[in-house]
Amino acid sequence: MRRASSSLVHRHTRRVLVNVLRMLALALVLVWSAFPILLMVTASLRPPRDVFSTSWDFFAKAGLQNYANLWKRWPDFFHNLGNSLVIALGATALTLAVSFLAGYVYSRRQGRLLTASAFFMILVRLLPPIVITLPLFPAINWLHLNDTRTVLVLLYCAFFVSLGTWIMKAFIDQLPRELDEASAIDGASLAQTLRLVILPLSHAGLIATSVFIMVFAWNDFLFAFIFTAVDAKTAPLVISEMVGAIDGVDWGILFAAATLQLVPILVFVLLAQKYLIAGLTAGTVKS
Amino acid sequence: MLVLVLFLPALYVFWLSLTRSTYGKSPVWAGLANYATVLSDPYFWTATLNTAIVVNAIVFGEFTLALAIAMLFAGWIPWRRLMLALVLAPYAISEVVAVVVWKFMMEPYVGPVTLALKAVGLAPLDWAVEPSHGLAMVILLSVWHHLPFTFIILYTALLGIPKDLYEAAQVDGASSWARFRDITLPLLVPAMLVAVVFRYIFAFRIFSEVWLLTGGGPARSTEVLAVYLYRQAFRYADFGAAAATGWLMLIASLLMGAWYIHQMYKRMFVDAAR
For chain A, say whether B102 makes contact (Cβ under 8 Å): yes
Out of A134, A266, A277, the one facing B239 most closely (by C-beta) is A134
For chain A, say whether B205 makes contact (Cβ under 8 Å): yes
What is the rounded CA–CA span in Å between residue A139 and residue A136? Answer: 5
Question: What are the beta bridge partners of residue B19?
Answer: B29
Q: Sort out which chain A residues have CB atoms less than 8 A from B110's CB and list them.
A: 52
Q: Do B6 and A265 touch (CB under 8 A)?
A: no
- Is residue A170 domain-shared with residue A224, that is, in the same domain? yes
Instruction: Sketch the domain layout of chain B as residue ranges.
Output: 2-273
**Alpha-carbon distance values, A24 to A34, A54, B117, B259 (Å):** 15, 23, 20, 38
Of A45, A66, A87, the position where a domain reaches its end is A66
- Is residue A12 domain-shared with residue A145, that is, in the same domain? no
What is the rounded CA–CA span in Å between residue B38 and residue B22? Answer: 16
pLDDT at B18 over 70: no
Q: Do the Cβ atoms of A265 and B97 come closer than 8 Å?
A: no
Q: Do A37 and B96 touch (CB under 8 A)?
A: no
Out of B72, B147, B272, the one facing A26 most closely (by C-beta) is B72
Q: Do A37 and B272 touch (CB under 8 A)?
A: no
- Is residue A197 domain-shared with residue A246, that is, in the same domain? yes
Of A44, A66, A88, the position where a domain reaches its end is A66
Q: What is residue B171's predicted lDDT score, i.e. its pLDDT? A: 85
- pLDDT digits over A230-262, tens only? 888 899 999 998 887 766 778 888 989 999 999
What number of other Cβ atoms are within 10 A of residue B25's Cβ? 10
Q: Sort out which chain A residues have CB atoms less than 8 A from B198's CB and list them.
A: 284
- Is residue A71 domain-shared with residue A60, that is, in the same domain? no
Q: What is the value of ipTM here, to two decimals? A: 0.86
Q: Which fold has domain B2-273?
A: MetI-like fold (1.10.3720)
Q: Sort out which chain B residues have CB atoms less than 8 A from A222's CB and list them.
A: 207-208
Q: Do the Cβ atoms of B149 and A280 come closer than 8 Å?
A: yes
- The whole-chain average pLDDT of chain B stands at 82
- Is residue A94 domain-shared with residue A41, that is, in the same domain? no
Range in A62-76, A187-201, B111-125 the model is least confident about: B111-125
What is the rounded CA–CA span in Å between residue A40 and residue A280? Answer: 28
Which residues, at least 6 apart from A101, have a Cβ–Cβ distance to it below 8 Å? A194
Q: Sort out which chain A residues have CB atoms less than 8 A from B90's CB and list them.
A: 33, 36-37
Q: Do A158 and B2 touch (CB under 8 A)?
A: yes
**Ramachandran bin of B58, using left for φ above 0, alpha for ψ from -120 to 50, beta for the remaining angles:** alpha
- Is residue A133 domain-shared with residue A75, that is, in the same domain? yes
Q: Do the Cβ atoms of A267 and A261 come closer than 8 Å?
A: no
CA B119, distance to chain mean position in Å, is 32
What is the rounded CA–CA span in Å between residue A154 and residue B39? Answer: 34
Indicate the DSSP class of residue B75: S
For chain A, say whether B264 makes contact (Cβ under 8 Å): yes
Q: What percentage of chain A exceeds 90 in pLDDT?
A: 21
Give the 3-state secondary structure of residue B19.
strand
Q: What is residue A6's predicted lDDT score, i.e. its pLDDT? A: 67
Range in A67-76, A275-284, B54-63, B233-242 the model is least confident about: A275-284
Domain of residue A21: give its range: 2-66
- Is residue A46 domain-shared with residue A94, that is, in the same domain? no
At B236, phi and psi to the nearest 5? -95, -5
What is the rounded CA–CA span in Å between residue A276 and residue A205? Answer: 9
- More reliable by pLDDT, B7 or A86: A86
- Is residue A51 domain-shared with residue A164, that is, in the same domain? no
At A189, phi and psi to the nearest 5? -75, 170
First CA to last CA distance, chain B: 32
* Angstroms from B63 CA to nearest CA on chain A: 14
Per-window interface: B 3-62 vs A, CB < 8 A: 5-10, 12-13, 16
Q: Do A131 and B2 touch (CB under 8 A)?
A: no
- Is residue A79 domain-shared with residue A53, that is, in the same domain? no
Q: How many domains does chain A have?
A: 2
Cis ω before B108 (30° cut-off from 0): no
Out of A36, A133, A280, the one facing B105 most closely (by C-beta) is A36
Q: Do A280 and B152 touch (CB under 8 A)?
A: yes
What is the rounded CA–CA span in Å between residue B51 and residue B46? Answer: 8
- Is residue A185 domain-shared with residue A151, that is, in the same domain? yes
For chain A, say whether B83 makes contact (Cβ under 8 Å): yes
For chain A, say whether B202 makes contact (Cβ under 8 Å): no
What is the rounded CA–CA span in Å between residue B88 and residue B105? Answer: 20
- Is residue A61 domain-shared with residue A78, that is, in the same domain? no
* Residue of B199, B223, B202 lying closest to B213 (CA atoms): B223
- Is residue A11 domain-shared with residue A86, that is, in the same domain? no
pLDDT at A2 over 60: no
Q: Residue A136 is part of a domain; what is its CATH number?
A: 1.10.3720.10
Of A37, A66, A95, the position where a domain reaches its end is A66
